Structure 1
Amino acid sequence: MTTTHVHRRPLAPHVMTYLVVTVPFLALLAAVPLAWGWGLSWLDVGLAVVLYVISMLGVTVGFHRYFTHGAFRCGRGLRIALAVAGSLSVQGPVLHWVADHRRHHAFADKEGDPHSPWRYGTSPAALAKGFWHAHMGWILERSLTDQQRYCPDLLADPDVARVSRAFGWITAASFIVPAVIGGLATWSLWGAFTAFFWAGLVRVCLSHHVAWSTNSICHMVGERPWKARDRSTNVWPLALLSMGESWHNLHHADPTSARHGVGRFEIDLSAGTIRVFEKLGWAWNVRWPKPERLEKLRATPEPGGRPAGQTSGQGV
């Protein structure tokens, strides 16, 4: 533990972690019968989609590419907005999330990685156990990454620290706000309940498992077209729901890049969002992937030295 600086999570937050992981999952299991002819309206769908996109981009653009890796710079207003939006995903306070992810990169798929699926070995039984650990088992453990070691820069930022401390209130808002909107829009308790169920519980559960799949699936199966020191992979079926995070192999090959999907058909909505911020003047010093950098990172260059799927990094 001395090499990774891990602490023990207090009991109350640990119990809350179990609740926010298991209750939305139980709601997802109930979703199919509820959707079969009753209990789902276009308002519920709209609220769920909007909150999913906002909260997931808060994680992928904010927690991940901005706070963890510094892929771009921005002003105070956008920095606070990204921290709040990411917190709406209920994946943990921003300081915890960043500390865990920086530790993941420091020890990727080695001893000290908080969520490597290769932790227990390569046999079928070990990989099954490793998949569970990488996907969600590690979240249910009581260990906390030392923030003083892994994110002292964010601890020193009063705005980020304040948002991190307010995580409990933001979590409550993530479930209550859609219920209030649904209740007011339909002027009924049933409308409030269905909005809470679909745009609150089910939406959070879906975003959880999509995000966790980057830790598990994207380190076990998929393509490895880029040079990385670990087992990170690209998994295209997850690209749209993960906002481009499942182009994970290039991310590990070039962690500070603002764009992870660089191929012609590699959709990266997070990179597109950062591009919009840049054009609006809200983001600057964006670290777009450069052709010469991709040339060096490509694992198997095509004839003539051009990396397959190379782009200028200017699109979505």
Structure 2
Amino acid sequence: MNRTTLPHDRAPGSPQPMLAGEKSSTEMFLVKLFAVVPALALAAAVPLAWGWGLGWVDIGLAAFFYTLTCLGVTVGFHRYFTHGAFTANRGLRIALAVTGSMAMQGPVVGWVADHRRHHAFSDREGDPHSPWRFGTSGRALAKGFWHAHMGWMFDREQTNAARFAPDLLADRDIQRVDRLFPVLTAVTLLAPALAGGLISMSWWGALTAFFWASLVRVAVLHHVTWSVNSICHMIGDRPFTARDKSANFWPLAILSMGESWHNSHHADPTCARHGVRRGQLDISARLIRGFELLGWATRVRWPKPERLARNLKGNTA
């Protein structure tokens, strides 16, 4: 992947149209199903937790699948496929596409196209999920928060992958993974239940694992990811110069695996590390470093002092 010619780096006046028609009725139904059902499971989690239906096996499985699928999104879908922050060998490339798909946030090509479009038009007309879309009044920002957090997914407009992700459309391996998204959705929901059943040797263990490590885990990951779109474009620290209102929001740093250092990311989108300042924990960057040491990832774009200094606010050099 050539990091210098990624589609989201092109000028907004590209001859390719920004949208590619509308999502089908089936796609809209699945978006609502995947957004609403895990959220309902999360709402039911609190009373369920009192006294029954939750054990260490459920917690362990939920933590394992959360970490696996979250890193699939942060390292794979985001830093690698969207921004080309490093070069991956074929095995790692396919593995990142598979584990990212298991987060149930949509097929890899559509996810990447949406995010590259976000960066091309961040907090401006054309951004699919800016919280500033409706204005700056209290009412407008409340509406904008909902839109950026999850409302944008219910819009029927579909980002044109031919414009924003032609590299992935031309990749046969990634196209196969993209088409397997329904199968990988079934895997990410059923694997925890199977593991819970086998570990406990009971149907009850399978049921509780399905609830906590499948439904609740997916819901939590969804809302953490969506919070980067909403909260991290509204409140937080902005030490670096960016074209938009992206902000660093430290309370989400661990759950988002480093994605909530969002101002740093928007100031230097292709950088493999988002938590670039002292004390900013970035688990995704640590994993990329591990891949680099193993020889699976090369040409990693690590932060450079001169680039950081150039992007700092108040620097007139």
Does 2:169 align with 1:131?
Answer: no
Could you tell me which residue of structure 2 aligns to residue 163 of structure 1? 177
Give the alignment partner of residue 206 of structure 1, picking from 196, 209, 220.
Answer: 220
Does 2:115 align with 1:115?
Answer: no
Q: Give 1:164 shift.
A: 0.7
| TM-score, normalised with respect to structure 2 | 0.93
Give the alignment partner of residue 222 of structure 1, picking from 226, 230, 236.
Answer: 236
Q: Give 1:6 shift.
A: 4.0
| Equivalent pairs, count | 302
**Aligned counterparts, 1:135-284, within 5 A:** 135-284=149-298
Give the alignment partner of residue 26 of structure 1, picking from 33, 40, 43.
Answer: 40
- Secondary structure of 1:250's aligned partner: helix
Could you tell me which residue of structure 2 aligns to residue 309 of structure 1? none
- Secondary structure of 1:178's aligned partner: helix
Q: For the Cα contact (< 8 Å) 2:17–2:160, is it kept in 1?
A: no
RMSD of aligned residue pairs (Cα, Å): 1.3
- Secondary structure of 1:144's aligned partner: strand
Distance 2:235 2:292 in 1: 34
> Which deviates more from structure 2 when the two are superposed, residues 199-208 or residues 140-149?
140-149
Does 2:84 align with 1:70?
Answer: yes
Distance 2:155 2:51 in 1: 39
- Secondary structure of 2:21's aligned partner: strand
Q: Give 1:7 shift.
A: 2.2
Distance 1:265 1:35 in 2: 34
Distance 1:118 1:6 in 2: 24
Q: Give 1:5 shift.
A: 2.2
Q: Give 1:201 shift.
A: 0.2
Distance 1:241 1:263 in 2: 18
Q: For the Cα contact (< 8 Å) 2:102–2:188, is it kept in 1?
A: yes
Structure 1 stretches of 4+ with a deviation exceeding 4 A read none
Q: Which deviations, in whole Å up to 9, do the C-alpha atoms of 1:133-158 show, x marking residues without a partner?
A: 00000012222111001000000001
Q: For the Cα contact (< 8 Å) 2:22–2:156, is it kept in 1?
A: yes
Percent identity of paired positions between Structure 1 and Structure 2: 63
Does 2:110 align with 1:96?
Answer: yes
Unaligned runs of 5+ in 1: 306-316
Q: For the Cα contact (< 8 Å) 1:3–1:112, is it kept in 2?
A: no
- Secondary structure of 1:216's aligned partner: helix
